[in-house]
Structure 1
Amino acid sequence: MPPIKPLTRHLVRVFATPDLEGTTAVVYRLDESLSSSDMQAIASNDKAPATCFIHQVSAQECNVRFFNATHEIQLCGHGLLACAKVLAEYDNALSFRLDTPQTVVEAHVSQEDTRVEIQLDALPSYAVDIPLWAKDCFNIPPEAASLAGPDSGYWVMRWPQSTALDQLNVNSRVLVENTQRALIVTQKSQVEGYDYGFRYFAPQHGVIEDKATGSAHRVLLSYWHQQLNQCNFKARQYSKEGAELVGRVVNGDVWISGNVDIQR
């Protein structure tokens, strides 16, 4: 097998503020396509929350794929934002169509500040009974549960506003043994300036707890749009690193945005 050509590597920080670390993505802009095994090998070496590969089809359209250290990620919110930022560095354009294995995403890069925004189809959730395994999974029980997406989609579990989400313990073993869905834990925010808080867990897919999760924000924008009857949101992710995510609901679509900076 011929060696992989040296690739230009971009380290991008996403969803950070002066007080919150956000998360990172490694982005490679490819001149020619790579095999899935080559991309997974590179991502395993990077060990980043997301390693992203852009293969440009035209001036404003690209194929993109995402990997963590162990798995391919079908749709990575912060990876999409990072890819758009890198593309804007190369091209005289601020809008792009990003073709992922799951869907085509429109992305816009701001000229005025560090904000990047992506458009996704809404992913509504529906209320269900709290599963029996929840009593073994959490040190503090949830008050409500919902499902979003297919069997490999998401649990959305809500806690009272008085609960300190950063004190919530989640048993990864119980999750792996009982569901293939990722888990989003959320609550109406108790912090001024934020509408809701959340955390994200997907040990079934190699993510014990994510630092900052655009795909979870996509689900929660629809969820809290139904709960609060509003369209514009700012959210705080209560990972150890912390993150700030902004979003809006417009005509059945969700727009996810946040600060995105290429690390020099």
Structure 2
Amino acid sequence: MIFTMYQVDAFAENVFEGNPAAVIPLETWLDDAIMQNIALENNLSETAFFIPHKTGYHIRWFTPNAEVDLCGHATLATSHVLFQHLNYSENEIQFESRSGVLTVKKEGELLVLNFPASKIETQYIPPNLKTAFNIHPRKCYKGRDDIMLCFKNEDDIINLQPNFIKIIESNARGVICTAPSEKYDFVSRFFAPAVGVDEDPVTGSAHTMLIPYWAKQLNKNELLARQVSKRGGTIHCKHLDDRVEIGGKAITYFIGEINF
């Protein structure tokens, strides 16, 4: 079998920035084990597969280790492929997913994801996370899938040194670390070693928790964020009550074929 595969840098203005994702268009689903093996072979944080659906498309996402319920950057990358390479002619794409209906629309140069917001609950910092970093977090929150740790400032986030074993022991999909910023409204980093991604370069799904939190803290619904990983990426954010908009740019790195 031969399939076309696109590798796209999402939340990036240039190649080698943002978060790379593989995107594979299908007519019908492959066996789950095959899709998981493709994702493992790609060894990217996410590989997205999609098929035509009566209202648009059905999308699924795989890390090298597991299928996940929600992924922002690979959805952005998939939308880029549809708009840029597969001649999708409408201004908005609708995806069915394990997290419900997701939409992506073009707004000038940006692709804007509309995702369900995550509920946020205050909790005590779990003992393993108190010592999972070289800098002590100030507050801790639990979301739909992730734990979020709040720090004093942007320098704290940039200088974090994670202990991945202790992060895995948190029993969360991932751990978001965030702080206010002078240049941006907030910055973050995201660690998910439990699903095979030690540090994700730019994480759209984490912003379903970050946006509601910072919208309340800063008393504003439109925010500009930066994920300060090594590759880095800028995220345009909007809080819409029980939904959030997550906007960014994308660029194609390569187009190839997989054959097995």
Give your verdict on TM over 0.5: yes
Pair 1:249–1:178, CA change in 2 (3 A): closer
* Matched residue, 2:172: 180
Correspondent of 1:159 among 141, 151, 166: 151
Correspondent of 2:101 among 101, 104, 122: 104
Matched, 1:168 2:163: no
Does the aligned pair in 2 maintain the 1:118–1:255 contact within 8 Å? Answer: yes
* Matched residue, 1:12: 8
When normalised by structure 1's length, the TM-score is 0.89
Any residues of structure 2 matched to 1:189-208 within 5 Å, and which? 189-190=181-182, 192=183, 194-208=184-198
Pair 1:66–1:100, CA change in 2 (3 A): same
* Matched residue, 1:141: 136
Does the aligned pair in 2 maintain the 1:175–1:203 contact within 8 Å? Answer: yes
Shift of residue 64, structure 1, vs aligned partner = 0.7
1:66 partner SS: strand
Deviation per residue, 1:174-230 (Å, 9 max, x gap): 12224334100000113x2x1000000111111111111001112100111111111
Shift of residue 263, structure 1, vs aligned partner = 3.0
Matched, 1:85 2:103: no
Stretch deviating more after TM superposition (132-141 or 181-190): 132-141
Correspondent of 1:234 among 224, 242, 260: 224
* Matched residue, 2:257: none
Matched, 1:246 2:236: yes
Shift of residue 132, structure 1, vs aligned partner = 2.5
Does the aligned pair in 1 maintain the 2:9–2:15 contact within 8 Å? Answer: no
Pair 1:129–1:99, CA change in 2 (3 A): same
Does the aligned pair in 2 maintain the 1:43–1:51 contact within 8 Å? Answer: yes
RMSD: 1.8
* Matched residue, 1:210: 200
Does the aligned pair in 1 maintain the 2:133–2:163 contact within 8 Å? Answer: yes
2:169 partner SS: helix
- Determine which structure has the larger strand proportion and give its number: 2
* Matched residue, 1:38: 34
Deviation per residue, 1:134-172 (Å, 9 max, x gap): 3321211011111112xxx21111100264312111111
Shift of residue 19, structure 1, vs aligned partner = 10
Counterpart residue type for residue 169 of structure 2? E
Alpha-carbon distance in 2 for matches of 1:30, 1:19: 25
Alpha-carbon distance in 2 for matches of 1:236, 1:40: 30
Does the aligned pair in 1 maintain the 2:9–2:16 contact within 8 Å? Answer: no
Alpha-carbon distance in 2 for matches of 1:54, 1:140: 40
Counterpart residue type for residue 98 of structure 1? F
Shift of residue 21, structure 1, vs aligned partner = 1.1
Shift of residue 71, structure 1, vs aligned partner = 1.3
* Matched residue, 2:258: none
2:35 partner SS: helix
